[in-house]
Amino acid sequence: MEFTIEDISETELERRRAVYAPLADSVRELIDAVIRTEVPDELIDDARRRIADVVTDLRAAQIDGPYGNRFTPDGAGMPWGNAVIGVRNAIAPPLVTEKVGDGVRAEFTLGAAYEGPGGHVHGGVCAMILDHILGEGASVDGVPAYTGTITVRYLRPTPLGDLVCQSWVTERGGRKKIVRGTLSDADGITAEAEGIFIEPRQWSGAVPPGVVD
């Protein structure tokens, strides 16, 4: 896995966040609007042309390939293209995690863009979120660990809306960590997962932790 060090200050990091986060938020609103709109056809065609113009403007200068795993010199992570927590990724909810004991926790909202069965979250999205949260839980001690295997058990459909996902380490042995996690709504757990997460063989602490798949 390759890492990129962005030689920028904390001030510049926050300036960039202030620029790109609202843009991604606007695109999230656009995605939701496209799914749920019932305006006349001529308005949709006009919107498509205007969106095409915006895309052309944004493509005038862009990086080659994906955003990648980036850090500032002082170790601040910039996983801004990440599908779950990416500040610049409009398909990410995005989740904001906090450390809780021997694991992590995130509160978030999933709307129309994440629907599978009517009114409920797609099972693959539930699995993606659990995989990420378990990975962050596995890395909470400062040593990154990546998914080896993960098993998800769906207890009942997860409704769209406000949700909580959390994870915690239950066992450590060599380079392996066993991590458990849950996805819940206001009425309790909707899905649970357990995974084996592996620390990189060559880990030396040279690259800041916190990037999980």
pLDDT digits (tens, 9 = 90+) for 36-84: 999 999 999 999 999 999 999 999 999 999 999 899 998 888 999 999 9
Three-class SS state of 140 = coil
* 180 has a pLDDT exceeding 90: yes
Three-class SS state of 88 = coil
Q: What is the pTM of this model?
A: 0.90
How confident is the model at residue 1, as a pLDDT?
61
Alpha-carbon span 188 to 97, nearest angstrom: 19
Contact 193, 157 (CB under 8 A): no
pLDDT digits (tens, 9 = 90+) for 121-167: 999 999 999 999 999 999 998 888 999 999 999 999 999 999 999 99
Mean pLDDT of the chain: 93
How confident is the model at residue 212, as a pLDDT?
43
Domains (range + CATH), the chain: 1-94 (no CATH), 95-198 (3.10.129.10)
Q: Tell me which of 4 and 207 has the higher pLDDT.
A: 4
Instruction: Classify each residue of 65-79 as buried b or exposed e, where b means 16 or more C-beta atoms within 10 Å of its C-beta.
Output: eebebbbbeeeebbb
Mean pLDDT of 16-28: 97
Which class for 10: exposed (0-12), middle (13-18), buried (19 or more C-beta within 10 A)?
exposed
Alpha-carbon span 138 to 136, nearest angstrom: 5
